[in-house]
Amino acid sequence: MNKLSIETRVQILSMLCEGSSMRSISRVADVSINTVSKLLVDAGKACAAFHDDKVRGVKARRVQVDEIWSFTAAKQKNVAKMKVPVAGAGDTWTWTAIDAETKLLITWLIGGRDSEYAMAFMDDLRSRLANRVQLTSDGHKAYLEAVEGAFGSDVDYAMLVKIFGAAPETMKGRYSPAECIGARKERIEGNPDPKHVSTSFAERQNLTMRMQMRRFTRLTNAFSKKFENHMHMVALYTVWYNYVKQHKSLKGLSPAMASGLSDTLWSMKDMAEMVDANSPKPGPRGPYKKAA
């Protein structure tokens, strides 16, 4: 069985994390699109398992959460008109939680934007924290029950509710939201510090996601065609963001280093070797079947 060299795997993973499309990667790296797809699947599974195992006992003080929209195969309004139905087609929301101080991406979840996903997201976030935190979210009502169920009274929780003006006629049908004319801070639980009631870091991380993953780019045909590949790419991105990416605000450290989860700054080769070590090993080739 042929196996890609470590240099080629590093190149493919680097380009995936830097916003290149899968077909452009196949052309630049001189490999088939199926090879890129298989490496993405293997890397996504390995990174998801690695993150789930290693990002535990996080000693954060202030956590911000947010959701970012994308879609799989077709926008929700067009799903019913699809000629070939695709599992998971429609609106795809990625929930993220970030440590405001170390920029560590603590957890993520992909699916809908309803209360069921909100509760699963908050339960997972709570399981990864080592202490009481100040939590800030936007005004999405699904958070209210989810935070109460996951944290109870053991949290200082506030909502930052943005106030939007009326959308002008020229903005209809466009992605740009109405103009934000203000925001109000609402204390929900505990004693949150009003100075730190903010979702700015979570929203900035969402911008990084849109810039670093081609399938999040709007107004293009680079959207995810498979829900599973969307999850694999977010899993790959999360480990890259936490362990490989350097942050100027952290004086060149990675979020994992700033959080005490890693002693060294990873290279893409380190990441590729981790993926290789955690990927399933191919078994023996079976016997050939004669054609009838």
Q: Residue 171: pLDDT above 60? A: no
Q: How far apart are CA 17 and CA 9, in angstroms?
A: 12
Residue 65 burial (CB < 10 Å; 0-12/13-18/19+)? buried
Tokens 């196996």 correspond to 3
Which helix (H) or strand (E) covers residue 212, if one does?
helix 200-212
| 164 vs 277 pLDDT, higher one | 277
CA angle 57, 62, 63 (to 5 degrees): 75
C-alpha distances out from residue 263 to 10, 13, 257, 258, Å? 22, 22, 6, 9
Say how far residue 63 (Cα) sits from the centre of its chain: 16
Q: How far apart are CA 230 and CA 84, in angstroms?
A: 19
Q: How far apart are CA 116 and CA 120, in angstroms?
A: 6
pLDDT band at residue 93 under the 50/70/90 scheme? very high
pLDDT band at residue 168 under the 50/70/90 scheme? low
Question: Given this model, what pLDDT does residue 1 score?
Answer: 41
Least confident among 38-47, 95-104, 144-153, 161-170: 161-170
Nearest to 254 by CA among 245, 202, 47, 60: 245
Q: How far apart are CA 219 and CA 70, in angstroms?
A: 11
SS3 262: coil
Question: Given this model, what pLDDT does residue 288 score?
Answer: 62
Q: How far apart are CA 70 and CA 124, in angstroms?
A: 22
- Locate the DSSP E strands across the chain: 62-72, 90-99, 105-111, 134-137, 156-164, 180-189
Encode pLDDT of 42-80 as tens digits: 999 999 999 999 999 999 999 999 999 999 998 888 888
Question: Given this model, what pLDDT does residue 55 score?
Answer: 97
Q: Residue 172: pLDDT above 60? A: no
Q: How far apart are CA 195 and CA 107, in angstroms?
A: 24
- Quick check: 25 and 233 in contact, CB under 8 A? no
Kindly state the greatest CA–CA separation across the chain.
75
Q: How far apart are CA 92 and CA 72, in angstroms?
A: 6
DSSP output for 129-150: BSS--EEEE-S-THHHHHHHHH
**What is the average per-residue pLDDT within 36-47?**
95
Q: How far apart are CA 157 and CA 168, in angstroms?
A: 34
